[in-house]
Structure 1
Amino acid sequence: MIWRNPYVRAPVFLLLIYLAYRYLGLVSQVVLLALVAYIVAYLAHPMINWLVNHRLTRFWGVLVVLVIILGILALASTLLVTVITQFADLMKHLPEFSAHLTSWFDTLTLHYPILKGIDHQLRTLTSNSAQTVQKMLLPSLQKHLDSLLGGIFGLVSVVAEGFATLILAIYMMLDYDKISLTLLRVFPRPWQPLVLDFSNNVSTAVGGYLKGQLLIATFVGIFIGLLLSVLGIPSAPAIGLLAGLFNIVPYLGVVISIIPALLLAATTPTVVFKMIMVLVVFVAANQIEGHLLSPIVLGRTTDLHPVTVVLAILSGLALFGIAGALVAVPLTALGKLLLHEYYYPNKMYQDGP
């Protein structure tokens, strides 16, 4: 037969690959939405199974997960509105903040006379800086009002895409097992056991990483939220929630949530003290996460040595930034699983080349 000729099959396969590439390019946004929805369903699947095992139907399990997701989004939206409002208020009271800073420095110079030499320079710098920021930022905000309106329309588009993704995720959560079986049937039948085995290894590696990172994110969120509440920072629980949510990516939650925390601290009466203490809280959270929790917790949930976890995160961060840090540990855990499952039992490893 003509089809058995490799010179016929090769061009046909190349043409099919090219057509698939072009098609995926045209519907890349749809593919991305479907992928995000499947990831949400994948992450929610263990919780839904747990609820089903505790005498809830799958429908009610999905509904509980949906309420949790919407609750988190509502809290995050509340925080965003609060931060924007506080930032606008901070811009209006910037000269007052400058006066607080110079007053605090004057008090400091009474105890440390050596600082008197830079008192005048600091006073001039803070006063000029406050006025400059107000003059530059406020007219700039007015000037870019049209761009802001365009951004609002863009936000509406993002919300619409997010709603579509959520609907897809709900359907995928309801029929997760059927969808997984359909994806498995895409592969030829002789390959399916290997694909299923590989999929189970991926689930083990990624699942162990997610369990560990969720524990770490929960601790970081509670730690930051409680300490900021003790300090009297406005919206402290919401900032803790923000830190915990974004800390699914290692260290990202601390980096992102420190900005609104500092802005909100700047609206309190003892501005300088509160801002310094906020920095102390976030540095402490970062150090505890990096040197204690990540190596120990991820080492146990992914069966990796703590040194391996630290090296994997640092390598991923250096090579691909935040995305690299996110996937470094599960990929390393997957690599270890594959070595134990496929390479070490292999004849070439056992008997040598």
Structure 2
Amino acid sequence: MSGTAKNGTSVEPRPTRGRMLDEDIPYGVRVAAEWAWRVGIILITGGVLIWLLSKVSFLLIPLLLAALFTALLNPVVAWLSRRRLPRGIAVAITMLGLIAVVVLTLIFVGRQATAGFKELWGQALEGVKQVQQWLQDGPLQITTDQLDKYLSQLTGSLQNQSSAILTGALSVGSGAGHIAAGLLLTLFILIFFLLEGRQIWAFLTKLAPRKARPALDGAGRKAWTSVGSYVRIQVFVAAVDAIGIGAGAAIIGVPLALPLGLAVFLGSFIPVVGALVTGAVAVLLALVANGLVNAVIMLAIVLVVQQLESHVLQPLVMGKAVSLHPVGVILAVAAGSFLAGIPGALFAVPVLAALNSAIRFIAARGWETDVVPATPELPLADGETETQEEQPINSKEAISDDH
């Protein structure tokens, strides 16, 4: 409080030590400190969340796979539902069709791969003979007796390490068992996502406080729309890559063209990394089978297809679908692969696209002004009609207390 001196003039209170310290700190430093502790809390929270999720990856990976397949297959289920089929029957037909397509593709590709590997086996044996001849006649001058001695030492080393090899084989078998269990869990989750996705989302939204429900519902719808757009566009991009590289390999006579096209299709779902790996496999296969000239031609085909993807498909199609900059995509894939390996690289872009749409919606307070349409990717509840789904729903009114 201010006081009065003996001469009648007012006296300002003596500033406290804390007030003096605040005035001594530059404004820029104070702002940087405010940002620093807030960003630090966000990073720590994100790190703890990633660590916790890594402990339940056996559940998280099937859940994310089921979400991607749901975004891809929901239009098929909606189309069947418009044909007056009950939703349960539509989901059953879609699932049976998916399983049939996967099984038939694996059988057909497996036969092609078996025939191609038989052809490559003879070429590989011829290559081994050429290497053996080079070792004898080349600068190393390794005789047949010396080569047999080295092979005997290698065989003995493998026998001494038989226990370690057996342990590794058992771990591979255990990993295959985990993959099979994960696939079954993915199919189980996918069925219920297709059948009762809207009810599940409504239940999760009602767990939030009442005031937060409109924001959560609108952000979730925006994120789901981005994921659906990403999946459908990525399937198109992967198909273009597979057809381009597979057809090019078949035209120039590279064996295993069809399995190679399937590998390119699957690898394209991992942006940047998948294209590089599958392209390198195609060039190596051409080199082993047909020689250097054929490998150079295959390399040119791979580069043309990848340039088409990078400069046409990704910016014009994928960029508009998910609104992500290519630098953000590359950094997301790198961070995902570093944190979680192949699954991290696979899910990095759709997760980033979903977060980008949700954060933009919340930052703009879109639930106060926007009218969020009921997205066709979210399954209809039992008893709802197709016309109800197509009508726009205000996000404030979409979440009611009654269920």
TM-score, scaled to structure 1: 0.65
Alignment-derived partner of residue 173 in structure 2: 152
Give the fraction of aligned pairs with identical amino acids, expressed as a percent.
22
Alignment-derived partner of residue 110 in structure 1: none
1:61-140 alignment runs, 5 A limit: 61-70=90-99, 71-72=101-102, 75=105, 94=124, 96-97=126-127
Q: Is the 8 A contact 1:233 1:265 kept in 2?
A: yes
Q: Tell me how far 1:343 sits from its aligned partner.
A: 11
Letter in 1 for 2:309: E
Q: Tell me how far 1:246 sits from its aligned partner.
A: 2.9
Alignment deviations for residues 159-211 of structure 1 (CA, whole Å, 9 cap, x no partner):
12321321232233222222222222222333222211111221233233333
Q: Tell me how far 1:262 sits from its aligned partner.
A: 4.5
Separation in structure 2 between the aligned mates of residue 284 and residue 233 of structure 1, nearest angstrom: 17
Return closer, same or farther for 1:38/1:96 CA change in 2, 3 Å cut-off.
same
Count of aligned pairs between the two proteins: 302
2:75 equivalent to 1:46: yes
Q: Is the 8 A contact 1:97 1:271 kept in 2?
A: no
2:271 equivalent to 1:250: yes
| Structure 1: segments with no counterpart, 5+ residues | 1-19, 102-118, 346-353
Structure 1 SS opposite 2:270: coil
Q: Is the 8 A contact 1:316 1:325 kept in 2?
A: yes
Q: Tell me how far 1:92 sits from its aligned partner.
A: 7.5
Separation in structure 1 between the aligned mates of residue 352 and residue 124 of structure 2, nearest angstrom: 42
Separation in structure 1 between the aligned mates of residue 299 and residue 76 of structure 2, nearest angstrom: 35
2:292 equivalent to 1:272: yes
Separation in structure 1 between the aligned mates of residue 55 and residue 270 of structure 2, nearest angstrom: 30
1:183-332 alignment runs, 5 A limit: 183-258=204-279, 260-262=281-283, 264-265=285-286, 268=289, 270-302=290-322, 304=323, 309-317=325-333, 319-321=335-337, 322=345, 324=348, 327-329=351-353, 331-332=355-356
Structure showing greater radius of gyration is: 2
Alignment-derived partner of residue 11 in structure 1: none
Separation in structure 1 between the aligned mates of residue 107 and residue 157 of structure 2, nearest angstrom: 25
Separation in structure 2 between the aligned mates of residue 282 and residue 30 of structure 1, nearest angstrom: 36
Separation in structure 2 between the aligned mates of residue 301 and residue 194 of structure 1, nearest angstrom: 22
TM-score, scaled to structure 2: 0.58
Q: Tell me how far 1:294 sits from its aligned partner.
A: 0.3
Separation in structure 1 between the aligned mates of residue 74 and residue 89 of structure 2, nearest angstrom: 13
Alignment deviations for residues 30-85 of structure 1 (CA, whole Å, 9 cap, x no partner):
45544543443344323322332244432343234324543336635875797699
Q: Tell me how far 1:274 sits from its aligned partner.
A: 3.0
Q: Tell me how far 1:278 sits from its aligned partner.
A: 2.5
Q: Is the 8 A contact 2:271 2:333 kept in 1?
A: no
Separation in structure 1 between the aligned mates of residue 87 and residue 61 of structure 2, nearest angstrom: 26
Q: Is the 8 A contact 1:83 1:264 kept in 2?
A: no
| Structure 2: segments with no counterpart, 5+ residues | 1-48, 338-344, 370-403
Separation in structure 1 between the aligned mates of residue 245 and residue 191 of structure 2, nearest angstrom: 32
Alignment deviations for residues 4-32 of structure 1 (CA, whole Å, 9 cap, x no partner):
xxxxxxxxxxxxxxxx9999898663455
Alignment-derived partner of residue 10 in structure 1: none
**RMSD, aligned α-carbons:** 4.7
Return closer, same or farther for 1:40/1:285 CA change in 2, 3 Å cut-off.
same
Separation in structure 1 between the aligned mates of residue 174 and residue 308 of structure 2, nearest angstrom: 41
Separation in structure 1 between the aligned mates of residue 77 and residue 183 of structure 2, nearest angstrom: 21
Separation in structure 2 between the aligned mates of residue 228 and residue 141 of structure 1, nearest angstrom: 37
Return closer, same or farther for 1:327/1:176 CA change in 2, 3 Å cut-off.
closer
Q: Is the 8 A contact 2:226 2:357 kept in 1?
A: yes
Structure having the larger proportion of residues in helix: 1
Separation in structure 2 between the aligned mates of residue 59 and residue 91 of structure 1, nearest angstrom: 48
Alignment deviations for residues 213-247 of structure 1 (CA, whole Å, 9 cap, x no partner):
22212211221221122122233223222212332
Return closer, same or farther for 1:242/1:138 CA change in 2, 3 Å cut-off.
farther
